[in-house]
Amino acid sequence: MIKKYSQFIKESSDEDSKDSLVAEDTNKYSDVKDEIKSMVEKTIENSGGEFKSFIESFIKNPSDVKIEGLINDSDIYDFYLKFRNDIDEILNDNKFFDEVPSELNVFGLYDFIIKGTQKAIEEVVKML
């Protein structure tokens, strides 16, 4: 079948955009993922275990399983400052900002940042 040049151009640009979306999804939040992955690996080095079981444990009970370097509120706040754009995007994708802070038992801005960053870390660990 003979196609018009404009149809050919439109079809090839559609394919290119699909390919770029797939590549974008795999590279999305790569800096945050890499940082958390290295922190998890460091935690495993110090406490033992294996990567997959640690991730599963963290997903099941994030309040009890701690990642080294993300234990104290000050560490979590520093992590937020380092990756704030990605963290804000992750939280926005998961509709975190639609929730009322009082429902999260958060009554200050600092606590809201900590709680949000912890939620973003949980989401990133699920991506690993």
List of residues 6+ apart from 68 with CB closer than 8 A? 39, 42, 43, 46
pLDDT tens readout for residues 69-108: 999 999 999 999 999 999 999 999 999 999 989 888 998 9
Instruction: Confirm if 59 and 122 have CB atoms less than 8 A apart.
Output: yes
pLDDT band for position 10 (50/70/90)?
low
pLDDT tens readout for residues 18-27: 444 444 455 7
Instruction: Confirm if 128 and 26 have CB atoms less than 8 A apart.
Output: no
pLDDT tens readout for residues 101-126: 988 899 899 999 999 999 999 999 99
Q: How far is CA 90 from CA 41, 49, 57, 116, in A?
A: 22, 28, 21, 10
> What's CA 104's distance to the chain center, in Å?
20
Return the structure tokens found at 79.
Answer: 């992590």
Per the model's pLDDT, the better-predicted residue between 5 and 65 turns out to be: 65
Return the structure tokens found at 115.
Answer: 């709680």
Residue boundaries of the structural domains of the chain: 29-127
| DSSP assignments along 84-123, one per residue | HHHHHHHHHHTTGGGS-GGGGT--SHHHHHHHHHHHHHHH
Per the model's pLDDT, the better-predicted residue between 15 and 51 turns out to be: 51
Instruction: Confirm if 128 and 41 have CB atoms less than 8 A apart.
Output: no
pLDDT, residue 4, reads: 63
Residues found in the chain: 128
pLDDT, residue 49, reads: 85
pLDDT band for position 63 (50/70/90)?
confident
